[in-house]
């Protein structure tokens, strides 16, 4: 069982939603937090709230699509707290719209944020993680292992995380570094407030939801407990577990059910 008291934990997309909940959860366990987000104002509010709760936190504005910015932010956070033990790749963006009507640059933007942002941060953090036998957690989605109607780019970015982090695990396991993938279903966050429509503009519609919507705190608790046990794959909630097994045992049936519910 890993213990995170005194550990330094980097969380991307830390300003709100699941990222903020993860900062709070690991902070309550005694971790020192490095909070990264591209939204400087929202990040400032989160850092203030964490400090008010007695959590040691270093905040840095960082756009995950900028490799140099990721490297500098993680270097500064590790220097501030004296090392780095856990990286949580949480930052992400979504989009809505059938692929036939979606501009390719929307897909590129989603891939840059969701996939390359995780790659940039992991590459920057890896020397510290190897030196301290640390851990990487990647926040994927049910869309990381199953199809998702109307969000081809989002699903592609999450599938890419699985290929990357499953392969990375095989490279670093011998050095004592753990890699965990988390695949939640629906979480009550503001990700759709920042989602893109098929033309790359802010999405103004409503999201179809199949199953219960979990709170960020609920998912953060499950991630924390799974991280202590060094789980390889976490399916938090009944919807995620049902989707996992159904998509493997009856993939065609899963696709039909998902398409009907999402279209509805």
Active site residues: 154
Calculate the alpha carbon distances from 74 to 11, 83, 96, 166, 188 in Å. Answer: 10, 10, 31, 23, 28
CA-CA distance, 13 to 128, in Å (whole number)? Answer: 20
Residues 16/35, Cβ–Cβ less than 8 Å: no
What are the structure tokens assigned to 167, written together?
Answer: 């392969």
23 vs 13, 68, 104, CA distance in Å?
10, 23, 34
- The tokens for 3 are 């213990």
Q: Based on DSSP, count helices (H) and strands (E) in the chain, helices before strands.
A: 9, 9
- With a CB cutoff of 8 Å and minimum separation 6, the contacts of 183 are 140, 141, 142, 144, 145, 233, 234, 235, 236, 240, 244
Residue 10: which of 93, 69, 116, 90 has the closest Cα?
90
Handedness of CA 32, 34, 40, 42 (dihedral sign): negative
Contact 87, 180 (CB under 8 A): no
């Amino acid at each position: 069982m890993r213990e995170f008291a005194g550990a330094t934990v980097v969380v991307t997309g830390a300003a709100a939603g699941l990222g903020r909940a993860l900062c709070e959860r690991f902070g309550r366990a005694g971790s020192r937090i490095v909070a990264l987000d591209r939204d400087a104002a929202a990040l400032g509010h989160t850092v203030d709230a964490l400090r008010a709760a007695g959590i040691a936190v270093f905040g840095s504005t960082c756009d995950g699509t900028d490799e140099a910015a990721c490297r500098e932010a993680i270097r500064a956070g590790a220097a501030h707290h004296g090392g780095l033990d856990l990286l949580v790749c949480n930052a992400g963006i979504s989009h809505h719209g059938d692929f036939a009507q979606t501009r390719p640059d929307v897909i590129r933007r989603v891939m840059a944020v969701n996939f390359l942002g995780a790659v940039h941060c992991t590459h920057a953090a890896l020397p510290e993680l190897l030196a301290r036998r640390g851990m990487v957690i990647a926040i994927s989605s049910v869309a990381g292992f199953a199809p998702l109607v109307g969000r081809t780019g989002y699903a592609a970015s999450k599938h890419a995380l699985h290929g990357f982090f499953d392969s990375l695990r095989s490279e670093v396991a011998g050095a004592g570094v753990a890699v965990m993938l988390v695949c939640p279903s629906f979480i009550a966050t503001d990700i759709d407030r920042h989602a893109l429509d098929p033309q790359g503009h802010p999405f103004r519609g409503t999201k179809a939801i199949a199953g219960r919507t979990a709170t960020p705190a609920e998912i953060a608790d499950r991630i924390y407990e799974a991280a202590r046990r060094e789980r390889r794959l976490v399916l938090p909630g009944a919807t995620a577990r049902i989707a996992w097994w159904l998509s493997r045992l009856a993939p065609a049936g899963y696709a039909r059910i998902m398409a009907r519910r999402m279209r509805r």
